[in-house]
Amino acid sequence: MGSVARVTTINARSEESFDAAVRLGMERAQQTLRGVSGGWVKEQKVEASDGRITAWSVVLEVTFILED
């Protein structure tokens, strides 16, 4: 017997770091979706003001297994 997975896109933003943005996105995905099995960072970007980075954003592709 096999399994079927689906991929969904999540955007997450943090004022701390890319790592924090990824953690936030994956934690939120796991609260909403059942069967999350992984994810990958598709895009990264930063916001800046006065020459300083003010926020880090990621676009995540999150994989979850569809239930029977």
Q: What is the mean pLDDT of residues 6-27?
A: 98
Q: Is the pLDDT of residue 14 over 80?
A: yes
Q: Is the pLDDT of residue 1 over 90?
A: no
Our count of domains for the chain comes to 1
Strands (DSSP E) along 15-65, which ranges? Answer: 36-49, 52-65
Q: Name the pTM for this structure.
A: 0.88
Residues near 60 by beta carbon (within 8 Å), at least 6 away in sequence: 9, 10, 11, 12, 22, 25, 26, 29, 39, 40, 41, 42
Phi/psi at 26 (5° precision): -70, -40
Q: What is the mean pLDDT of residues 45-63?
A: 98
CATH number at residue 33: 3.30.1660.10
Q: Is the pLDDT of residue 42 over 80?
A: yes
From CA 30, how far away is CA 43, in angstroms rounded? 20
pLDDT computed for residue 59 by the predictor: 98
pLDDT computed for residue 67 by the predictor: 85
Q: Which domain holds residue 16?
A: 5-65
